């Protein structure tokens, strides 16, 4: 099951985020800064959580960002499925929600920027229509 995140999900999201960072090689990031970014994203309806046996096991967080000369990009900033929940199409469901949001907000593109040179991430995103463009996986969206 996938649903919009609520502020009460923050502790579970934080635990997943920490695991995400550990998997990514333990990048040094400030949890307080992450929380300051995440709370407004939750309020804006830009976060979805995936549940496994009623527990938050995955999430996606996006943000519509302006582009110099055109419609905004929907940047899929974080997308993570706990290792125990992988291979059950939860990631696909979350990515589909992000693409829906990009269309609803009339974004010109959906853009993934993390782990894009990882073959598994490419195998995951390319069937949705994403293609590598520099350091991003980009899905162009038709307007209207
Ligand atoms: C990438 C990630 C989100 C996929 O989540 P998931 O729920 O396991 O993915 P799904 O079950 O929806 O997979 C859908 C398809 O993507 C492909 N895929 C997913 N993971 C894959 C892997 N490790 N290797 C190869 N293909 C993979 C497969 O084609 C799969 O279809 P199949 O199950 O019929 O074989 C998850 O592995 C993850 O959180 N990784 C670490 C964080 C990360 O890299 N985030 C950036 C993501 S853009």
Nearest CA to ligand 1 atom 18: 124
What's the pLDDT score for residue 115? 86
Whole-angstrom Cα distance, residue 121 to residue 61?
16
What are the angstrom distances between the C-alpha of 101 and each of 27, 60, 133, 140? Answer: 29, 12, 21, 14
State both tokens at 137: 């996986």
Tell me the domain boundaries of the chain.
2-140
* pTM summary value: 0.96
Which tokens in the block code for residue 15? 């635990």
Asked whether 41 and 65 are in contact (CB, 8 A), the reply is no
Nearest to 76 by CA among 105, 36, 53, 52: 105
State the residue for tokens 């990048």: 27
Query: How many angstroms is it from 133 CA to the middle of ligand 1?
Result: 20
CA of 136 to the centre of ligand 1 (A): 17
Mean pLDDT of 47-70: 96
Query: pLDDT (tens digit, 9 = 90+) per residue, 16-53?
Result: 999 999 998 876 789 999 999 999 999 999 999 999 99
Task: Give the mean pLDDT of 81-92.
Answer: 97
Q: Does residue 143 have a pLDDT over 80?
A: no
| Topology of the domain comprising 2-140 | Aminopeptidase (3.40.630)
Cα 83–84–87 angle (5° rounding)?
80
91 alpha carbon to ligand 1 midpoint, in Å?
A: 6
pLDDT at 125: 97
Tokens representing 10 are 């923050």
Is 112 close to ligand 1, i.e. is its CB under 6 Å away? yes
Check pLDDT > 60 for residue 144: no
pLDDT at 35: 95
Q: Which pLDDT band holds residue 114 (cuts at 50, 70, 90)?
A: confident
CB count in 10 Å sphere of residue 125: 24
């Amino acid at each position: 099951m996938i649903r919009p995140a609520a502020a009460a999900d923050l502790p579970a999201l934080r635990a997943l985020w920490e695991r995400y960072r550990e998997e990514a090689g333990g990048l040094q990031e400030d949890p307080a800064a992450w929380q300051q970014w995440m709370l407004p994203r939750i309020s804006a309806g830009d976060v979805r959580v995936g549940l496994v046996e009623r527990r938050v096991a995955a999430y996606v967080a996006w943000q519509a960002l302006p582009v110099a000369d055109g419609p905004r990009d929907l940047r899929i900033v974080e997308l993570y499925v706990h290792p125990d929940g992988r291979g059950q199409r939860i990631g696909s469901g979350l990515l589909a929600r992000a693409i829906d949001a990009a269309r609803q907000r009339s974004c010109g593109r959906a853009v993934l920027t993390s782990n894009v040179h990882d073959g598994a991430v490419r195998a995951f995103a390319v069937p949705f229509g994403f293609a590598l463009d520099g350091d991003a996986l980009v899905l162009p969206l038709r307007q209207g």
